[in-house]
Structures are given as C-alpha cells and as structure tokens.
C-alpha cells in the first residue's frame, strides 16, 4: 500500500498530503464512496456544508470500521452563514451531522468580499473560537486572494493553516501559491485534474506514456511534487485506486516544467473568481 506523506501545518498539526474529495457526490452515494476510499487507504476526506453530504461522510467512516482519530476530516462554512451567530450554529450542525465532537480542519469556503459589507474578519474570529475550544483542530480558508489574506494577517491573531484554491495545469495559480508559501500557509489544490479536462492534453498524455502511468496519476504527482495537498474526487473504484498510487514514481524536472507551462493564466480558471463570487445556496 502507498504511504501518503504528511505535511505539518503552521499550528503543529499534521495533514495527509493526499485525500479524497466528495464535491458533487450525491448523498446516497457518499457513504459507499467514502468507505471505498478508506478501504483503498485514504485517511483524509474533504467535504463542506455546501456539498450536502457531511452526514454520509461520517457514516462512511463508521462503515469502514475506523475510529474517528484515524481519519483527517475537513469541512467548510457555507456562504449564507458568515455572521457570527449563524457561523456558530452552522458549525454545531456540521459536527452533529458528522457525529463527531471535532473536525481536523474547518475553512471559510469563500471570502465573499462583495457581501456582508466585505467583512470576513469577524467570521474568521469565530473560527478562532472553534480552534480555541479545540472543536476545530486547525482553521483555514478557501478561495482567498492575497488581498484577502493580507487583511486576515493584519487584523487577526491567527494565520490560516491552509488556503484551498483552484490549481491544475491549466490554472497554476502561482501568485496565490507564492503568497501562501511566504506566509507559512499550505496550499490545497482543488479540482486538481480540472474535473478531467486536462487528461487528454497531448503533453500530459505523452509524459504519462513515457513514465508508464495514467494522465491522472501524472497530474496528481505534479501537484504532490509542487508541495500542494490534493483530494481528487471519483465515484469509480478503479479511479479512486489509481489516484492513490502516486508514490512509486517521480517526475523529472523537464516533465515538471512542461506541465507547469500548460498554464493558461486567468482563461484557464474553471471556477468563479473569488473577488466576485457571491452565491448563497438556498
Ligand atoms: N473549496 C472549493 O471551493 C472547492 C471547489 C471545487 C472542489 N473542491 C474540492 O476539491 C475536490 C476535487 O475537485 P473536483 O471534484 O472539482 O474535481 P477533480 O477531482 O479535479 O475531478 C473529478 C472528476 O474527474 C473524474 N476522475 C477522477 N479521477 C479520474 C481518473 N483517474 N481518470 C479519469 N477521470 C477521473 C471524476 O469522475 P468520476 O467521479 O465519474 O469517476 C470526476 O468527474 C472536491 O471533491 C472538493 O473536495 C473545493
């Protein structure tokens, strides 16, 4: 079985560098998908209140017969709950759905700078409370740009442990990654294989042929060697297994550079721009 490296966060806690993402997995399929991933060897699950499947994530872990302490769980505060009391209530509900008295990592899902009077600082201070009372072992953010992070660094006591952002070969997002790195924040790369869109790329296909691995394995390995955390999503057992087998090969410098050169800048971005995104789910 592969051994997944751990990364130490700026608060001293360890996080497995490879996990399993559950965005867009239907609640009815989630417990089974999580159990499959855990059977294969994953020990890190990335969910969110917005995904609507926290309860089933907790169920999948119990179905796998694993103790709570054996799996690293991340969840995220939904966009409608940034006000302090709403955030406290939403976090209570996240824990109750997971049937756990803590999460390993809790994130503000989006900064929403055009909502709440641009105030994500008071929301962050509520996450500091969760860290203080140990119900969130670590706290971090998602989709924060350098300008948003600057404000957190200046106006609060806690530097986020992670920043979870869109990163893949067509959108390498190196400006934000560099900011993270310079401030002791670990980058987590969401949509690491661009939901499949990079897998037919001729550069990636030819590197995959040369190293005898699949295009998905090559792209995920590129992330790992860049030092980012990844949690690819799949409901297909064979792919879940394939995505876990990343630690018995290495990409050379030329291959790393060739993949990084596929960056298309802002046009490669698939998700919404964090400066503008203002979606509040029903
Ligand atoms: N913070 C945020 O705002 C944010 C946003 C997006 C995602 N995320 C997180 O990041 C995780 C991963 O991102 P994502 O789910 O958007 O996309 P992704 O992991 O880049 O790609 C998932 C898609 O690729 C397919 N796939 C997976 N492995 C494959 C393989 N080995 N070969 C071929 N196809 C494969 C899956 O198909 P099947 O499932 O049909 O097999 C699925 O359609 C999410 O689950 C979530 O935890 C966070």
Q: Output the pLDDT for position 2.
A: 65
The Cα 217–Cα 167 span in angstroms is: 15
Task: Please give the structure tokens belonging to residue 80.
Answer: 């409608």
Measuring from atom 34 of ligand 1, which residue has the nearest CA? 196
Confirm or reject: Cβ of 219 under 6 Å from ligand 1.
no
**Ligand 1 centre distance from Cα of residue 195 (Å):** 5
The Cα 14–Cα 162 span in angstroms is: 12
Residue 133, pLDDT > 90, answer yes
Residue 171, pLDDT > 60, answer yes
Best substitution site from 15, 232, 246 to test ligand 1's pocket, by max atoms within 8 Å of Cβ? 232
Helix runs in the chain, H state only: 27-40, 54-63, 84-98, 121-132, 146-155, 174-182, 202-211, 215-226, 237-242, 253-260
Per-residue pLDDT band for 218 (boundaries 50, 70, 90) equals very high
Measuring from atom 16 of ligand 1, which residue has the nearest CA? 191
pLDDT in tens, 230-272: 999 999 999 999 999 999 999 999 999 999 999 999 999 999 9
pLDDT in tens, 186-215: 999 999 999 999 999 999 999 999 999 999
The Cα 145–Cα 167 span in angstroms is: 13
Residue 96 phi, psi (nearest 5): -70, -35
Q: Taking a C-beta distance cutoff of 8 angstroms, is the pair 57, 73 a contact?
A: yes
Q: Output the pLDDT for position 82.
A: 98
Which residue numbers are catalytic? 51
Confirm or reject: Cβ of 164 under 6 Å from ligand 1.
yes
Predicted TM-score of the model (pTM): 0.98
pLDDT in tens, 34-49: 999 999 999 999 999 9
The DSSP output letter for 7 is E
Residue 95, pLDDT > 80, answer yes
- Please report, for residues 33, 142, 149, 162, the alpha-carbon distance to residue 70 in angstroms, rounded to integers and kept in the order given: 17, 24, 31, 20
Mean pLDDT of the residues in the chain: 98
Residue 1, pLDDT > 90, answer no
Q: Output the pLDDT for position 282.
A: 85
Mean pLDDT of 51-70: 97
Q: Cβ neighbours of residue 118 under 8 Å, at least 6 residues apart?
A: none
Give the residues across from 163 on adjacent strands.
Answer: 141, 187
Task: Please give the structure tokens belonging to residue 232.
Answer: 């690819």
Give the closest residue to 278 by CA, choosing from 144, 120, 115. Answer: 115
Give the closest residue to 187 by CA, choosing from 169, 174, 170, 171. Answer: 174
Measuring from atom 36 of ligand 1, which residue has the nearest CA? 234
For the chain, the straight-line distance linking the first and the last C-alpha, in angstroms and rounded, comes to 42
């Amino acid at each position: 079985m592969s051994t997944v490296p751990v990364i130490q966060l700026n608060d001293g806690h360890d996080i497995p560098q490879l996990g399993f993402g559950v965005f867009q997995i239907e609640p009815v399929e989630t417990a089974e998908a999580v159990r499959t991933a855990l059977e294969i060897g994953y020990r890190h699950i990335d969910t969110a209140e917005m995904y609507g499947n926290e309860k089933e994530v907790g169920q999948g872990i119990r179905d796998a017969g694993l103790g709570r302490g054996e799996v690293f769980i991340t969840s995220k505060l939904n966009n409608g709950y940034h006000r302090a009391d709403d955030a406290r209530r939403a976090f209570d509900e996240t824990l109750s759905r997971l049937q756990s008295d803590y999460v390993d990592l809790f994130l503000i899902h989006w900064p929403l700078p055009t909502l709440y009077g641009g105030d994500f600082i008071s929301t962050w201070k509520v996450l500091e409370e969760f860290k203080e009372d140990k119900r969130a072992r670590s706290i971090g953010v998602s989709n924060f740009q350098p300008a948003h992070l600057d404000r957190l660094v200046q106006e609060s006591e806690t530097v986020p442990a992670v920043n979870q952002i869109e990163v893949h070969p067509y959108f390498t997002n190196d400006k934000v990654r560099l900011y993270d790195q310079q401030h002791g924040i670990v980058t987590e790369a969401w949509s690491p294989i661009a939901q499949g869109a990079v897998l037919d790329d001729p550069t990636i296909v030819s590197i995959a042929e040369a190293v005898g691995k699949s295009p998905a394995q090559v792209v995920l390995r590129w992330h790992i060697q860049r030092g980012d955390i990844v949690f690819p999503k799949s409901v297909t057992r064979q792919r879940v297994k394939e995505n876990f087998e990343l630690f018995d090969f290495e990409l050379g410098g030329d291959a790393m550079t060739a993949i990084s050169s596929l960056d298309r800048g802002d046009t490669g971005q698939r998700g919404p721009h964090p400066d503008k995104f203002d979606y509040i789910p029903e």
